Amino acid sequence: MQSTHAIKVENLVKHFGKGDALVEVIDGADFHIDKGELVALIAPSGAGKTTLLMMIGCVEEPTSGKIWLGDEPVYDDKWLTKEQRKIRREKIGFIFQAPYLIPFLNIIENVTLVPQTNGVPKEKAEEEAMALLKYFDIAEKAREMPALLSGGQNQRAAIARALANKPQIILADEPTAALDITRSVNVVKMLKKIAVDQDVAVIMVTHDEAMLPLCDRILKIEDKKVVSQPVPENTKMI
């Protein structure tokens, strides 16, 4: 029977440095995130949000612990495969603070880059990309260069790129940091819709408490541990 957990983490530890210079960032994190869930990851600056995101994203190697992406164990005190980049390419979508589209590729090329690298034929990749661009209401901009699009259109194109490889997980690093409240709410609502529609788990790093009511759950880093919290009742109504 398949697990509904998109991400599962057990006793995850991350230290930087050695001896007197040892810094413990995460010390025994245990949590899971299910498909269809939008989870906010919150913590004070420097508490390890990005480090945790990078460990889940197979970018930063943990010190110890276990990580599963879907049913596949990817880390068990060491990487279980040498091809973390392949895992990222096939299972994970990334959304950043800024769109960070490749400036010399047009929108549809940006969206189809990873699927084509995964071996999807160009025509099929473009067909699927167009469907995503239609979903985000920027299909008419498919052949435009990113420099010619507005910030909001680029951000939607970046989200389309994150979904193009049909990921199990989306890691969003402060996607609303540079946006005003209205646009921020729109982006988070869009992420929630994606989580449900595409059946993916979304982890969103945020400092913006106003976005928390739109999430399903909160993961908070406290004293080097990761604590799962429900969205506070008093903010649910915001």
Partner 1 sequence: MINLAQKDIAHTLGKFIVTSMGVGMLLGIVLIMIGVYRGMIIDAKVLLDDLNIDMWVVQENTLGPFAEASRIHEDMRNTIKVIQGVDKAEGLTFQNLQLPSKEGEVRVFAVGFDPFGKIDPINPKRLIQGRGLQRSHYEMVVTDKTGFHLGDQVPIGRDVYSVVGITHGTVSSGGDPLVYVSLKDAQELQFLYSNARTRNDRARGIKALNSHMINAVVATVKKGYNVNRVAEDIRQWKHKSVYTATQEKTLLTKNLIKMASKQIGMFTVILVVVSTIIIALIIYTMTLEKIKEISIMKLIGLPNRMIVKMIMQETLLMGILAFVFANLFAHLIYSKFPKRVVLEMPDAWILFLVVILASILASFVGVRKVIHADPASAIGG
Residue with tokens 């420099």, as numbered in its chain: 147
Residue 42 main-chain phi, psi, to 5 deg: -125, 155
Torsion angle defined by CA atoms of residues 185, 189, 90 and 142, in that order, rounded to the nearest 10 degrees: -80
Identify the bridge partners of residue 14 per DSSP, sorted by sequence position: 26
Q: Write down the least CB distance from residue 91 to partner 1, Å.
A: 9
Dihedral through CA 83, CA 105, CA 98, CA 89, nearest 10? -20
Whether the CB-CB separation of 224 and 25 falls below 8 Å is answered with yes
Structure tokens at 207: 């400092």
Closest contact distance (angstroms) between CB of 201 and partner 1 is: 18
**Structure-block tokens of residue 236:** 């649910």
Q: Does 177 bind partner 1 (CB under 8 A)?
A: yes
CB of 114 to partner 1, least distance (A): 6
Of the two residues 100 and 231, which places its CB atom closer to partner 1 in the complex?
Answer: 100
88 lies in the site for partner 1, by CB under 8 A: yes
- Closest approach of Cβ 112 to partner 1, in Å? 7
Query: In the complex with partner 1, which residue's Cβ is closer, 159 or 232?
Result: 159
Name the residue nearer to partner 1 (CB basis): 104 or 230: 104
Nearer Cβ to partner 1, position 81 or 229? 81
In the complex, minimum distance from the CB of residue 209 to partner 1, in angstroms, rounded to a whole number: 20
Binding residues for partner 1, total number by CB under 8 A? 35
In the numeric block, the tokens 């406290």 are attached to 222
Q: Which of 10, 30, 34, 90 binds partner 1 (CB under 8 A)?
A: 90
The dihedral formed by the CA atoms of 111, 117, 121 and 122, expressed in degrees to the nearest 10: 40
Residue 98 as a binder of partner 1 (CB under 8 A): the answer is yes
Q: Contact with partner 1 (CB under 8 A): which of 13, 74, 130, 145?
A: 145
Q: How far is the CB of 236 from partner 1 (least distance, A)?
A: 29
Hey, which residues between 8 and 47 contact partner 1 (CB under 8 A)? none
Helices and strands per DSSP (H, E), number in the chain:
7, 10
Residue of 97, 41, 88, 37 lying closest to 60 (CA atoms): 88
Stretch that binds partner 1, among 34-42, 101-109, 182-190, 196-204 (CB under 8 A): 101-109
> What is the rounded CA–CA span in Å between residue 43 and residue 220?
6
Q: What is the DSSP letter of 232?
A: P
Which residues contribute to the site for partner 1 (CB under 8 A)?
50, 53-54, 57, 59-60, 85-90, 92, 94, 96-98, 100, 102-105, 109, 112-114, 116-117, 122, 145, 161, 165, 173-174, 177
